[in-house]
Structure 1
Amino acid sequence: MRVLIVSDTHGNHKNLDRILEQAGQIDMFIHLGDVEGGEEYLDAVLDCEKHMVRGNNDFFSDLPKEEEFKIRDYKVFITHGHGYYVSLDPEYIKEEGKARGADIVMYGHTHKPYFDKNEEITILNPGSVSYPRQEGRKGSYMIMELDDKNQLRFQQCYLD
């Protein structure tokens, strides 16, 4: 199973289209907020299971603020992250994920990729598709793969 994880597209379909082409076949799509009106576009171009949450710039969106769901045996908690002070430190969202019994916590908002995995929990941020803030300033996303033995593999990817 291949899962494409993006955040902070801010309505920029050009970069999102490039990512969809670069990522190849996916079974699930996760958007971590600041879609900025791109929900209908994503529904039109993606033919897979989708999970999307509202970001701090999604003022009139009907998307949920947070979502919890399962990917096979893994409990996933997704949110944009601004309500958990992720710009200061990912520790708050990590503790929230643990309190919810999540195996994987995904967030956006900072526009910088982040990945931390230990025995208890995996915390990740794919960065921003449209307005990256990390060194090099390339749009970024993540691919999560689950093999037949239910083992997880994560890949941080950047736009060419």
Structure 2
Amino acid sequence: MKLVVVSDTHGDAEILKTILKQQPDADGYFYCGDSELTANDPLFDTYQAVAGNMDDDPDFPLTVTQDFSGVRVWMTHGHRFNVNFTLAPLLAAGQAQQAQIILFGHTHQLGVFMEEQMLVLNPGSISQPRGQYARLGGTYAVITWTSTQYHVQYVNRDGQPVPKLAFDWQR
């Protein structure tokens, strides 16, 4: 299975179209909020999207849960879970949904780790990155998995994998 995860474009719809061309073979496309677009934008026929703190359209859901071959993915933007200060509420909400993968945005900083057998991932902001990897000019994440392993590869705006940002975990 292959998922593409992107967040925090803040009005940059063109990069979402570009990513679809860069990653045409994904099983799922997830958008973690702050598009500043409307929920009925044709991009969201492909990307599953949640509301970010900068999204005014009430038709965006606050969370999305989807199962892929026995792996439950749960996504939110993160602002309502206080992710700038702690990840505890986010992790508790993911556990309550029996998620194996938790996706979130909001901080504009990429990050990924395993916690309580859950893969927790922030793709960073593709348009307004912050933190240690801001110099990359924006990132998104590609998650693939087998029955025994998760693989996460961060990718830059040009569609190039970032060699130092590839990670593997046992499932």
Query: Which runs of no fewer than 5 residues in structure 2 stay unpaired?
Result: 159-171
Kept after mapping to 2: 8 A contact 1:129/1:139: yes
Aligned with 1:114 (options 91, 106, 111):
111
Aligned partners of 1:105 and 1:88: how far apart in 2?
17
Aligned partners of 2:70 and 2:151: how far apart in 1?
14
Percent identical across equivalent pairs? 32
1:80 maps to which residue?
A: 77
Deviations, residues 83-115 of structure 1 (Å, cap 9, x unaligned): 111111222211221232211111000000010
Which range is displaced more, 57-66 or 22-31?
22-31
Kept after mapping to 2: 8 A contact 1:68/1:78: yes
Length-normalised TM-score, structure 2: 0.80
Deviations, residues 128-156 of structure 1 (Å, cap 9, x unaligned): 11111123152110001134x47432112
* Shift in CA distance, 43/121, structure 1 to aligned 2, threshold 3 Å: closer
Query: Which runs of no fewer than 5 residues in structure 1 stay unpaired?
Result: none
Q: How many residues align?
A: 155
Structure 1 counterpart of 2:155, which letter? C
Counterparts of 1:69-148 in structure 2, within 5 Å, are 69-118=66-115, 120-135=117-132, 136-147=135-146
Q: CA RMSD for the aligned pairs? A: 2.0
Aligned with 2:153 (options 121, 138, 155):
155
Which range is displaced more, 51-60 or 19-28?
19-28
Length-normalised TM-score, structure 1: 0.85
Structure 1 counterpart of 2:31, which letter? H
Kept after mapping to 2: 8 A contact 1:32/1:52: yes
Kept after mapping to 1: 8 A contact 2:16/2:43: no
Aligned partners of 1:90 and 1:152: how far apart in 2?
21
Kept after mapping to 1: 8 A contact 2:113/2:121: yes
- Measured after TM superposition, the shift of residue 76 of structure 1 is 1.4
Aligned partners of 2:150 and 2:37: how far apart in 1?
31
Aligned partners of 1:63 and 1:150: how far apart in 2?
34
* Shift in CA distance, 69/27, structure 1 to aligned 2, threshold 3 Å: closer
Q: What SS does the corresponding residue of 2:64 show, helix, strand or coil?
A: strand
